[in-house]
Copies of this chain bind each other. A is one copy, B any other.
Amino acid sequence: MSTLNDPAIQALLEQPNVAIVSTHNADGSILSAIAWVNTEGDELAVNSAVGRKWPTNLQRDPNVTVLVYPPDNPMEYVEVRGTATVDDGADEHIDALSKKYINQDKYPFRVPGEERIKFTIAPEHVRYQKQG
């Protein structure tokens, strides 16, 4: 099995490529949404606002699948299946993601009253694919 430390996967995750985060809705269907992602050691870390659909899904069912690919080559991608855990430091983390994705030290899109939530994702299955 691949791991997040494989160089090609690391490169995909270090670049500001967005993640497609897929979670389980209560009715059993799959919710897919787009989010920022980075790595922390052997885990992924994602961030949202409390009350939005995908973090609410993860609070109920932590099983998650994350797919990342570079926009200029969708034939290369990494798919990570794992288990999400709520982590401390959501505010610092969204600022770090802002730095990564839009080169701003402070996340600029915060809505008044918004509470951020951070999840780390321990990978159980990492699949890397490159075609063409």
Contacts and interface: CB of A to CB of B under 8 A. Distances in A.
Interface residues of A, number: 30
Contact of A24 (B18, B30, B31): B30
Q: Is the interface of A mostly helix, strand, loop or mixed?
A: strand
A125 interface: yes
B69 A31 contact: no
A20 B77 CA distance: 11
Copies in the complex: 2
A32 B22 CA distance: 8
Interface string A53-68: 0000000000111110
A77 B34 contact: yes
B63 A28 contact: yes
Contact of A34 (B31, B74, B124, B125): B74
A81 B132 contact: no
Contacts of A64: 30
A94 B29 CA distance: 27
A124 B69 CA distance: 27
Contacts of A31: 65, 79, 81
5 contacts: A32-B32, A33-B79, A34-B77, A71-B71, A71-B72
